[in-house]
Amino acid sequence: MKTNYEIRYAAHPQDAKSYDTARIRRDFLIEKVFAADEVNMVYSMYDRMVVGGAMPVHESLKLEAIDPLKAPYFLTRREIGIFNVGGKGYVKVGNDTYELDYKEALYLGCGDREVIFESLDAQHPAKFYFNSVTAHKNYPDKKVTKADAIVAEMGSLEGSNHRNINKMLVSQVLPTCQLQMGMTELQTGSVWNTMPAHVHSRRMEAYFYFECPDDQAICHFMGEVDETRHVWMKNEQAVLSPEWSIHSAAATHNYTFIWGMGGENQDYGDQDFSLITDLK
């Protein structure tokens, strides 16, 4: 197995205004989430969130305590949310084993124990996407499926944003320290997410886009309301969203995305909305 990681530092919104395309992509876009028999992750200085992916094919993959954590185990001072976006697989946590099928999720609280990722079938490997943030208290591990989720149907086909928001690893479903995660599925014919756009200055967010055909693309919007920027993305890529930035997207095809938040406030409704007509 191989573990790759990089550190991404935080940017002041005034500085970000001067970034060109290459700099925006370098600082915010995570192009390689999955690679066979690798664990890839980004350690972000935005609320110390770690965003990554593990794709076990021919071997088991260990979630290693990378150097920036300065800890004996990855979960020593962290909680993590894991979504499987591939074939059926297993997450071994200490003496426990959790089976995750497509679009099923797992929450793991902080505490010293190993985490191992495995696939059931190497021809259809599991793809474990994860977000992790710091935690001051241990909460019970729990598997969460779409049947357990709080589902909010929003938008309309006329507005090109008919979608189901599956709130899965959120405080209304299970206790966490600060991590909140869910999955939004856009209906056929809809391409816009998180519109009208908003910011939440008490927490950052990461978006992971999937179920977008390989010959199509997603245009993710970020930046301040009065000076937005865009990032063109491909299927199974992720993007960091600072606390001062909007986070929205349109694509050339409908898609699904996983959102994860970490920060001061767990309240899902803690948002400052902007009018669509105010975006610049």
Each residue of 88-118: pLDDT tens digit? 999 999 999 999 999 999 999 999 999 999 9
42 pLDDT higher than 70: yes
Q: Is the pTM of this model over 0.85?
A: yes
In this prediction, residues 242-254 reach a mean pLDDT of 94
**Beta carbons within 10 angstroms of residue 192's beta carbon:** 21
Each residue of 129-176: pLDDT tens digit? 999 999 999 999 999 999 999 999 999 999 999 999 999 999 999 999
267 pLDDT higher than 90: no
31 pLDDT higher than 70: yes
Set out the domains of the chain in order of their start, with CATH numbers: 2-278 (2.60.120.10)
Closest CA to 259 of 187, 190, 163, 194: 194
Percent of the chain having pLDDT more than 70? 98
Angstrom distance (rounded) from CA 64 to CA 2: 10
Angstrom distance (rounded) from CA 75 to CA 258: 21
What is the structure's pLDDT at 146?
96
